[in-house]
Structure 1
Amino acid sequence: MTATVAVPAEPIGTLSDAWRECVGTGRLNLALRHDYVESLKRVQREIGFKHLRGHGLLSDDVGIHRPYEHGGERRVRHAFTYADQIFDSWLELGIRPFVELGFMPSGLASGDQTVFWWKGNVTPPADEREWVDLVTGVVRHLIDRYGIDEVRTWPIEVWNEPNLTHFWQGADQAAYHRLYEITSSAIKDVDASLQVGGPAISPGSDEWWGPFADFVERSGSPVDFVSRHAYTSGPSQHVPFGVYQTLARPETLLEQFDAPRRHLEGTALAGLPTHITEFNTSYRPDSPVHDTAYNATYLAPVLASGGDFADSFSYWTFCDVFEEENIPTSIFHGGFGLLGHRQLAKPTYHLYTFMARLGAEILARGADHLVTRHADGRLAILAWQPVDGTDAGAASHSLRLALPVAGPAASVHRLRVSETDGNAWNAWRDLGRPHHPTSRQLDLLHEASRPTVEQRAARAAGGILNLDLTLSQHEVTIVEIDPVRDETEAWIDDARIPGYAQTAGVR
C-alpha cells in the first residue's frame, strides 16, 4: 500500500530559478540558421531561459579577428558583422549571452591543434599582446553596442575545459593560468564591474581546483564566479554514427554541482557563485539516451534540487542544431538538444516546460515529487518515476499526496510524458526510424510529441484533497490544482442533454 505524503500548508522553501538561468547552444555561428532561430523562439516562449552559452565566439567562422597587411605591416581588424547578428537575435528573444571566450582564431594561434568537425583551435595565443587587444576589443564593442549596464549582466568565462587535451593543448595548467590572468585583467581594465570567471573544467578533474585557487591568490587575478561541467555517462561503445554509454546515479550530477564548494572551502575562492555551464546525462552529441523519456525522468530530481548546490546549471543544449561530430545523418541521432531538428520536442524538453509551470513556494519535496504553490493559491506538483541510471525501473510507480486546498472543489489538470505519452522518439521507432521523415511523418512525430492531457474535477474534505498518482514507465508528470468557485445556475440540468442522462451529476 502506498504511504500518504501529508503536504503542509506552510512553505518549507522557495524554488530556485537556477535551472533556467542558462542553457547551452551549439557553436555561435549556428545562430545564423533558420532552424536554430525557430527553435530558440519556441524555447523562449515556452520555457524562458535567461542566458545562453556556446563555443566559438572567437573562432574563424564568426570572423571577429581579421589580420591583414598594409604598408608592409601586419595589422588586425576586429569585425563584428556576425557577432552582432547573433547577439541581437538573442536579445530580441529575451535571452542574454553567457560569454565563453574561445576558441583561438587561426591568425593568432600558436599551433594547429583543433577540436570538432568544425576545427576550433585549442592552442594558446602566439602573441599575448594581440590576444589582450582582441579581448579588449570584443568587450568594448559589446559595451558600445548594448550599454555597460546590460553587459554587466553577462558572465564572461575564460575558455572551455582546459583540463582536457582535446580542448587545451596538452591540458597545460600553467598555460591556462597565464591565459586566465591576462584575459581577466583585460576585462577588468575595461570595467571593474564586469563578471569574469572560470576554469570551466570537465568532470573527473577536481584536482584543478586547489592549484587554480592558489594561482588566483598568488597572482591577484580577478574571479567573480567559478564554473564547472557535469556529466554522468561512462565510456563510449561506438557504433556507426552513434555511441552507447552507461549512466551513474542521477544524484551523481548533484554531487558534481556541489564539487566546487567542497574543493574550494577554506581557499580565497570559497563562497563565490558557482555556475555549472554544461550538464547532461551523456557528454556525447550522438548518444540515443538524450532523445528518450528515460532522460527526462532521470533529470527530474536534478532540476528539482539543483538550485541547492549551484547558482546556475546549464543544460547542454537547447536544440539539435549542433555539429561537433559532423552534420547529423538522421532527425533523431542522440543529439544534446531539448528540441530536435524541426522543433521536435523531446521528453526532456517537456520536463523543462513543466518546471516553468511550477510555483515559487515549495510545500514538499521527495525522491519522486516536488509540490509548489503559486501566489494566487494554485498548486503545481511535479512527479516522476525514480530511476537509478542502470535499469528500466518498475513498470509503474504510485504516489499519494494529501494536499492543502481552499474550498471544497478543485480542478485537476495533468500533463504527462512517458514511454507512450509525449514521446516523439518512440513514435519515430514505430515509423521504422526514418532518417529523413516525409512531411506526413513529421506531422505524426509532432503530434506524438505532445504531452497527454487529463482534466477532471475533485472534491476536498476538511481542507485536504487526496491526490493518487500512478505513473507509467519513465513518466514525468505535472499536476495543477486550481480552486473552483461553482457558478452553475439553478436551471442547469445536464441530464436533459442527449447522451448525458446517465452521467449527469458525476462531476
Structure 2
Amino acid sequence: MTSIVVPADPVGTLSDAWRQCVGTGRLNLALRQDYRASLELVQSQIGFRYVRGHGLLSDDVGIHRPYDAAGHRGTQYAFTYADQIVDSWLELGIRPFLELGFMPSGLASGDQTVFWWKGNVTPPRDHGEWAALVQAVVRHAIDRYGLDEVRQWPIEVWNEPNLVHFWQGASQEAYFRLYEVTAAAVKDVDAELQVGGPAISPGADDWWAPFADFVTARDVPVDFVSFHAYTTGPAQPVPFGTYQTLRPPQSLLDQFARPAKLLAGTRLEGLPAHVTEFSTSYRPDNPVHDTAYQAASLAPVLAQGGDLVDSFSYWTFCDVFEEENIPTSVFHGGFGMLGHRQLRKPVFHLYAFMARMGDAVLARGADHLVTRDASGRVTVLAWQPVGGTDAPDEPGSHALRLSIPVGDATTTSAYAHRSRVDDEHGNAFTAWRRLGRPASPSRRQLDLLHEASEPGRSTTALEVTGGRADLTLTLSRHEVTLVEIEAVRDETPPWLHDARILGRAADGTP
C-alpha cells in the first residue's frame, strides 16, 4: 500500500459552510423539552450558526390572528410562541434562517395542505394582507432583537414551490408574484435585510432561468439563491417506513454545483448560494438516516461542499419531527442526526468530528481530509468510500496510509487519539436491532442504547522521525474515523519506571 505524503504547508482553508445552517422540524416543535435538549447537545458539540424549518406562519405558531366579533374586525399579530422559539435559539447561539411559510388559514385562498400537521400551501387570498403580515413579522423581530441582529437573518420565500405538494399547482407565475410582493415588503422595512429563494427541490433546473428572467425584468431584489439536494430515488413504502435507491455521494456535490452553472451570465450570477436542505433520503421514515452508511456517504460532502456553496443545511438536527404523523418507534428512519431522547446517530458523530478539525487544509482525497489548527494539532478525518445502490457492496475493510507532518525536527514522539463510528461502534441503531427493535425502550434499554452510541476510542504513540510520523489506518465497513495527532513533549521524571508498578525491576525481571 502506497503511503500518501501529507504536505507540511497548508494547501487551503477548510470552509465552515458545513455548519453554517441545520434543518429543524416545524417551528412549533421548538417548544418541546426533547427538542430543546437535542438542540443544546448539538450546539455544545457542533455549534451550528443558523437553523431553518417550516411553519413559521402556520396556525400552530399563531402569528396571524384575524378577528370579527362584537363589532370589531381586523387582524392581530401575536408573537407569544414565536418569541419563545427564537429566544430559545438565540440563547443557544443559533440564529434563525427564516423560511416564510406556510399560509395561515385566515389568509389562505384554498384548503390544500401538506403533512400530518396540515400546513396550508395555497397562495394568499390578498397579497396586500400577506405583505402586511411579512412586515409585521420583520418589524417585530427588529423591535425585539435589534436591526443589526435581524440583518444577519436570511429570509427565504416559501419552500419547494416547484412541487404540487408544497405550492398549489406548482405555479411559477403564482410563486413569482408571491416572491415579488414578499421581497418588496421586506425591503420596505429595511433595504439591508437579506431576502432570497426560490428554495426549489432537486430536479427543478427548469425554474432557474425563468426566475432569473423575472427578477431581472421587474428589478426584484434577490440577495441569495436557495435550493435543496437529495440522493434517493422513488419511495418504496412499507408500513410506517420507506426504502429507496441511493445515488453516490458525488451526486450531492454535483447538485450543489449545478445552479451556479445555470445562472452564469444572469443577474443572479455570483450571489451567495444556500442549500437549505440536503441529505441522502428526502423521506422522514427511511432507515438509512440511522445507519453508519449515512455518515460514510456524507463525509466527502462535508469535506468538499464548502468549495461549491456558501452553506448546506443537513435536514435535520433531531427526530422531533412529525411530517408523516407521530413516529411509531424510537428508531424510525427519521431525518435527525439525533434520535429521540438525544440518541446520537453515526452522522451526528461525523459532524462532531468535523467540529474538532483545524482550519488549515493539508491534504484532501477520496477517503480523507487532513487539517492542522493554530496549536499545531493535526487532525485526520478518514472514511470508507461508498457508491450507492448500483455500486458493489462495500468490502469489510478499507486501508489508508499517511505520512503526517508533526512537530519539528526535535520531535521524537506523537500522541494519536482515534474516534470511530461504523456498523459496530457509535451505532445505537445496531444495538437497537439486537435488542429486538423495541418501539418504546425501557429505561434500562435506553441506557444501553446511549452507551452503544458512544464512538469507539483508542490511543497510540507514533514514532516521529524528521518531523514526520507514519499513520496506518484500517477502516471497517462504513467507518468514519477521526485521528487527532499532537507532538509529545516528554516530562517523565528519571526516577519513574512503569514496570515497577507491579513490583518488578525496571528491566522487567522480578
- Name the structure 1 match of 2:131: 132
- Name the structure 1 match of 2:261: 262
Deviation sequence 1:54-92 (CA, Å, 0-9, x none): 000000000000000156453000000000000000000
- Name the structure 1 match of 2:289: 290
- Runs of 5+ consecutive residues of structure 1 not aligned to the other structure: none
Deviation sequence 1:417-466 (CA, Å, 0-9, x none): 00111100000001000000000100000000000110111111111100
Report SS of the residue matched to 2:198: strand
- Name the structure 1 match of 2:393: 392
Instruction: Find the aligned partners of 2:507 and 2:312 in 1 and give their Cα distance.
Output: 49
**Alignment match of 2:493 (pick from 479, 489, 496):** 489
Task: Check whether the contact 1:233–1:246 (CA below 8 A) recurs between aligned residues.
Answer: yes
Task: Check whether the contact 1:298–1:386 (CA below 8 A) recurs between aligned residues.
Answer: yes
Cα 1:445/1:485, change in 2 over 3 Å = same
Instruction: Find the aligned partners of 1:167 and 1:500 in 2 and give their Cα distance.
Output: 74
Instruction: Find the aligned partners of 1:263 and 1:329 in 2 and give their Cα distance.
Output: 42
Task: Check whether the contact 2:499–2:507 (CA below 8 A) recurs between aligned residues.
Answer: yes
The structural deviation recorded for 1:392 is 3.4
- Name the structure 2 match of 1:424: 428
- Name the structure 2 match of 1:449: 453
The structural deviation recorded for 1:335 is 0.1
Task: Check whether the contact 1:494–1:500 (CA below 8 A) recurs between aligned residues.
Answer: no
Task: Check whether the contact 1:21–1:50 (CA below 8 A) recurs between aligned residues.
Answer: yes
Written as runs of structure 1 = structure 2, the 5 A alignment for 1:228-307 is 228-307=227-306
Give the letter for the 1:120 counterpart: G
- Name the structure 2 match of 1:438: 442
- Name the structure 1 match of 2:406: 405
Instruction: Find the aligned partners of 1:13 and 1:499 in 2 and give their Cα distance.
Output: 52
Instruction: Find the aligned partners of 1:502 and 1:7 in 2 and give their Cα distance.
Output: 38
Task: Check whether the contact 1:494–1:501 (CA below 8 A) recurs between aligned residues.
Answer: no
With the length of structure 1 as denominator, give the TM-score of the two structures. 0.98
Report SS of the residue matched to 2:502: coil
Written as runs of structure 1 = structure 2, the 5 A alignment for 1:206-217 is 206-217=205-216
Instruction: Find the aligned partners of 1:458 and 1:500 in 2 and give their Cα distance.
Output: 26
- Name the structure 2 match of 1:345: 344
Task: Check whether the contact 1:421–1:452 (CA below 8 A) recurs between aligned residues.
Answer: yes
Cα 1:501/1:19, change in 2 over 3 Å = farther
Query: Does residue 378 of structure 2 align to residue 379 of structure 1?
Result: yes
Report SS of the residue matched to 2:30: helix
Give the letter for the 1:404 counterpart: P
Give the letter for the 1:394 counterpart: P
Give the letter for the 2:239 counterpart: P
Instruction: Find the aligned partners of 1:500 and 1:250 in 2 and give their Cα distance.
Output: 55
Report SS of the residue matched to 1:460: strand
The structural deviation recorded for 1:363 is 0.2
Task: Check whether the contact 2:241–2:333 (CA below 8 A) recurs between aligned residues.
Answer: yes
- Name the structure 1 match of 2:468: 464
Written as runs of structure 1 = structure 2, the 5 A alignment for 1:61-72 is 61-70=60-69, 72=71
Instruction: Find the aligned partners of 1:187 and 1:86 in 2 and give their Cα distance.
Output: 21
Instruction: Find the aligned partners of 2:89 and 2:372 in 1 and give their Cα distance.
Output: 31
Deviation sequence 1:39-60 (CA, Å, 0-9, x none): 0000000000000000000000
- Name the structure 2 match of 1:359: 358
- Name the structure 2 match of 1:182: 181
Query: Does residue 10 of structure 2 align to residue 11 of structure 1?
Result: yes
Instruction: Find the aligned partners of 2:455 and 2:73 in 1 and give their Cα distance.
Output: 58
Report SS of the residue matched to 1:497: helix
Instruction: Find the aligned partners of 1:125 and 1:458 in 2 and give their Cα distance.
Output: 65
Instruction: Find the aligned partners of 2:372 and 2:192 in 1 and give their Cα distance.
Output: 36
Task: Check whether the contact 1:404–1:464 (CA below 8 A) recurs between aligned residues.
Answer: yes
Report SS of the residue matched to 2:352: helix
Q: Percent identity?
A: 70
Deviation sequence 1:388-422 (CA, Å, 0-9, x none): 01253111000000011111111000000001111
- Name the structure 2 match of 1:145: 144
With the length of structure 2 as denominator, give the TM-score of the two structures. 0.97
Cα 1:242/1:504, change in 2 over 3 Å = farther
Cα 1:461/1:245, change in 2 over 3 Å = same
- Name the structure 2 match of 1:224: 223
Aligned residues: 504
Query: Does residue 67 of structure 2 align to residue 30 of structure 1?
Result: no
Instruction: Find the aligned partners of 1:108 and 1:100 in 2 and give their Cα distance.
Output: 17
Give the letter for the 2:491 counterpart: E
- Name the structure 1 match of 2:59: 60
Instruction: Find the aligned partners of 1:392 and 1:201 in 2 and give their Cα distance.
Output: 33
Give the letter for the 2:488 counterpart: V
Instruction: Find the aligned partners of 2:393 and 2:321 in 1 and give their Cα distance.
Output: 29
Cα 1:266/1:459, change in 2 over 3 Å = same
Instruction: Find the aligned partners of 1:409 and 1:254 in 2 and give their Cα distance.
Output: 38
Instruction: Find the aligned partners of 2:465 and 2:395 in 1 and give their Cα distance.
Output: 32
Task: Check whether the contact 2:252–2:301 (CA below 8 A) recurs between aligned residues.
Answer: yes
Instruction: Find the aligned partners of 1:458 and 1:383 in 2 and give their Cα distance.
Output: 18
Task: Check whether the contact 2:498–2:506 (CA below 8 A) recurs between aligned residues.
Answer: no
Deviation sequence 1:230-281 (CA, Å, 0-9, x none): 0000111110000000100100000111111011001010000000000000
Q: RMSD of the TM alignment (CA)?
A: 1.2
- Name the structure 2 match of 1:75: 74
Instruction: Find the aligned partners of 2:503 and 2:435 in 1 and give their Cα distance.
Output: 37
Task: Check whether the contact 2:417–2:485 (CA below 8 A) recurs between aligned residues.
Answer: yes
